[in-house]
Structures are given as structure tokens and as C-alpha cells.
A and B are shown apart, each in its own frame.
Chain A
Amino acid sequence: GEDVEQSLFLSVREGDSSVINCTYTDSSSTYLYWYKQEPGAGLQLLTYIFSNMDMKQDQRLTVLLNKKDKHLSLRIADTQTGDSAIYFCAERGDQGGKLIFGQGTELSVKP
């Protein structure tokens, strides 16, 4: 089956690192994505990782993939108040273009 799960809330202090976790069930997933959504807005693509990779780093963002456990994480270094938003993990299987999204993790950054 297809299912993506995320914890709903995360609160950190400005300057700390944030780690948002995601688990997925579709073993045929080829790409996994992280999107950011600010209030009243659409989804902004942050980064993605191909399923044959373990890690990808892009400036303040680090994505870790444990394919055996079907676990994906997004680490944001030096978290800023502007990082406050809802973060969605999504998987794309090899059967087509549809993305399966988690419920989203609301990140709150306190000054």
C-alpha cells in the first residue's frame, strides 16, 4: 500500500538544528521529496533524493534516506524564524507521476 507518515508538530529555538522525520511504505518509490508550505500559499520544492542515494546536502538542508527502514529525514541547520512553515514529505513510485504526501509537519521557530 501507499502511505506516508510524519509527526505533526516540531518546535525549535532560532539557531538550533531542526530534524523532520518521515516514513513511507512503497518500496518501489524512486524519488522522495520535501516541500515547504507557508500559510495560504502553494508548495515550494525544497529538495529531493533519488532512492539509490543515502544522503544529499544542499546549503542548510541535509536529507538522509534509510531505504531498509523506509525512513527519510530533513535536517535544517541554523533554523531561522523564516523557516516556520509546514513541511511535507512525498514519495513518487515508479508506476507513474503521482506524488503521495504525508500530513505535514508544522515547524515553529521561536526567537
Chain B
Amino acid sequence: DAGVTQSPTHLIKTRGQQVTLRCSPKSGHDTVSWYQQALGQGPQFIFQYYEEEERQRGNFPDRFSGHQFPNYSSELNVNALLLGDSALYLCASSLDRTSGRARDTQYFGPGTRLTVL
């Protein structure tokens, strides 16, 4: 049973560029959440996707956008990169909470380390 996978593992970009990060959920999961983890901090919620729609959003600017595909995989896009966007980006998958409360536990992937120069 494959867990959550993310690509790429590492990425280096320059200020002003755009980046796309990818996530494949754990088998059987239908919901994907994205988090940003700055060095030495806990993860911060960016947004959550379910049924190809953004269902909930954290306190991040519109430069952060996402997409969910019919196979439940997801992309995180960041435009106009800033130095402060350098972080570990974590994807988490879960089964929608209406399927049973305990089953929406979030399982995390290994993350994508983004460095903005």
C-alpha cells in the first residue's frame, strides 16, 4: 500500500519565478491538504482540496493556488516567489470526514524542500 508521495524532493528557484509541487494521496484517500513548514517551525495550513474544489484555506496570499485532479492527486502552485517562501512543503491525505470521523486522520508525505534564492 503506497503512502503519500510528493515530487520533486528538492527544488531551487529564484525570486519572481513560479513553482508547481505535486502530491499523490495514499491509496483510498480522497482529500488532500497542503502545509508550509518554515525552518524550526510547525507546519502551517495552506489549503485543503476535496472533490476537486478548495474546501478550506489558511492565511496565505492568492499567490498560493492549487488543483485537485479526478484521480485525487493534487498540485500546489506558487507565483511570484519570495525569499520567505523557502520552506518544506508538506502534503497530507485523508478520507473525507463524512465517511466516518476517525477516518479523516491526515497522513503526510515526505515533503518538497523549496529554496528561493
Contact = CB atoms under 8 A, between A and B. Distances in A.
B56 A42 contact: no
B97 to A, nearest CB: 7
A22 B33 CA distance: 23
A99 B45 contact: yes
Interface in B87-117: 90, 92, 94, 97, 101-102, 104-111
- In this complex, the member of B41, B90, B101, B106 whose beta carbon has the largest number of chain A beta carbons within 10 angstroms is B106
B108 A43 contact: yes
B90 A43 contact: yes
B42 interface: yes
- In this complex, the member of A4, A42, A101 whose beta carbon has the largest number of chain B beta carbons within 10 angstroms is A42
Given A42-B111, A43-B43, A104-B42, A99 B101 contact: no
Interface in A29-44: 30-31, 33, 35, 41-44
Given A43-B43, A43-B90, A48-B105, A96 B56 contact: yes
B34 to A, nearest CB: 10
A97 B99 CA distance: 13
A41 B58 CA distance: 23
Nearest to B50: A97
Interface of A: 4, 30-31, 33, 35, 41-45, 48, 50, 88, 90, 96-104
Contacts of B106: 45, 97, 99
Range of interface residues on B (Cβ < 8 Å): 20 to 34
B24 interface: no
Contact of A98 (B42, B58, B108): B58
Contacts of B90: 42-43
B22 to A, nearest CB: 15
B108 A96 contact: no
| Among all A-B residue pairs, the 8 with the closest Cβ atoms | A101-B42, A98-B45, A43-B108, A96-B56, A42-B110, A42-B108, A42-B111, A103-B42
Contacts of B109: 42
28 contacts: A30-B101, A31-B101, A33-B105, A41-B110, A41-B111, A42-B4, A42-B90, A42-B108, A42-B109, A42-B111, A44-B108, A45-B106, A45-B107, A50-B101, A88-B43, A90-B42, A96-B48, A97-B31, A97-B55, A97-B56, A97-B97, A97-B106, A98-B45, A99-B43, A99-B45, A99-B92, A100-B45, A103-B40
